[in-house]
Amino acid sequence: MAHTFRWTLASLLITGCISGLPSGLTVLTTIPPSPPPKPLPSANPNARPLPGPLLRPMPLSSPWPLRIPTIPPVRIDPVVLPTGKPAWRSEVVPPNTPASPTPLATATPSASPSPSGTPTPTARPPEGPSGPIDLLRLDGQGNEQPADWQEPIGPDWLQHGVWLITDSFWRLPVFTGPRYAMRRYSGSTFGADGRVPNLYEVSFRIKPTVMEGRITVAPYFLDATHYCLVQLDLMNRNVSLWEVNGGTPTSGNQGTVDLSQAHRGWRPLPAPDADGSYTVRTRVNGAWHSLAVWVGSTWIDTPKVDSVDDRPHSVAIRTSGSAQDVLGVRVEGYTDPNQAR
């Protein structure tokens, strides 16, 4: 009985204390966790639950690490088009290579732009083991012609006559009228019937006795109506390049192509050498179909001529009657197209 009384009294005291708490205070009790939600019924009774998260953090020890490729830097260099206008060329810079701009070409004759497919001429390459070979032997007595130079077979407008040679010059005949006189090399230095190499340089040294008329040489000669020539106009003081493809003294522009006008225009005639002579130097490149022309040390032009190829050909001199003396003709053969440019 005593124990029952004590428990009852304790219950009343606790109830009284709780009921006597100030308003606004609440006794905190522990709330049991809610049960997990039941999955929604699926329309497909055989459906399986979805896998875990689609994006999982990749551990550092993963056998498939993410690799980002290294992109090398790119530099943009100025270049010069054949038209002379600057363009831009992007180029990947190799690793550990400083990206330095390429300098523009200098405005010198040797760096002038070339037509498409034609290289810019360079300085004279080293001479071959034997050096240039003289094709004109000045050992006559003034009453004979060079044995290795002959008049080509041609039409009736060719001016015939003797080209006399002495021990110091080969004198061209003087005549008037719409006619040409020609002499082609026909010796056997490089091949039969005057054939010269496909890659070579030929130099003509000619001295006019009076500063009038034209000096005309053919660094590439097939026959009397098919050849390429360099012409020095002594009266108008210009240099021009021509391709003759059937032209005659009276045909005008028919059968001829003005290579200078088609490419760079007629060029001013440089001053003669100290003795009054002119040296016309031409590199003939049958592999690249080009002619690189100098007068003295001045570069004139490098036109691309499709007809210049590896067909058997020679070199020649043409005159229209002006008083001139040929002082020398030399040919040097090359083995690499890069030399004959």
**pTM score, whole prediction:** 0.63
Provide the sign of the torsion angle of the four alpha carbons 247, 252, 255, 256, taken in this order.
Answer: positive
pLDDT tens-place string over residues 218-253: 999 999 999 999 999 999 999 999 999 998 888 878
Mean pLDDT of the chain: 75
**Higher-confidence position of 112 and 268:** 268
What is the rounded distance in angstroms from the CA atom of residue 183 to the CA atom of residue 217?
Answer: 10
Q: CA distances (Å), 265 to each of 3, 107, 258, 262, in order?
A: 135, 18, 9, 7
Q: Is the pLDDT of residue 14 over 90?
A: no
What is the rounded distance in angstroms from the CA atom of residue 201 to the CA atom of residue 293?
Answer: 10
Q: Are 180 and 158 in contact (CB under 8 A)?
A: yes
Q: Of 95-104, 134-143, 188-197, which has the strongest mean pLDDT?
A: 188-197
Question: Distance between alpha carbon 48 and the CA centroid of its chain, in Å?
Answer: 69
pLDDT at 178: 87
**Higher-confidence position of 328 and 128:** 328
Q: Are 330 and 108 in contact (CB under 8 A)?
A: no
Percent residues over pLDDT 90 in the chain: 44
pLDDT at 13: 46
Q: Is the pLDDT of residue 89 over 50?
A: no
Please state the φ and ψ torsions of residue 5, each to the nearest 5 degrees: -65, -45
Give the chain's domains with CATH numbers.
134-333 (2.60.120.560)
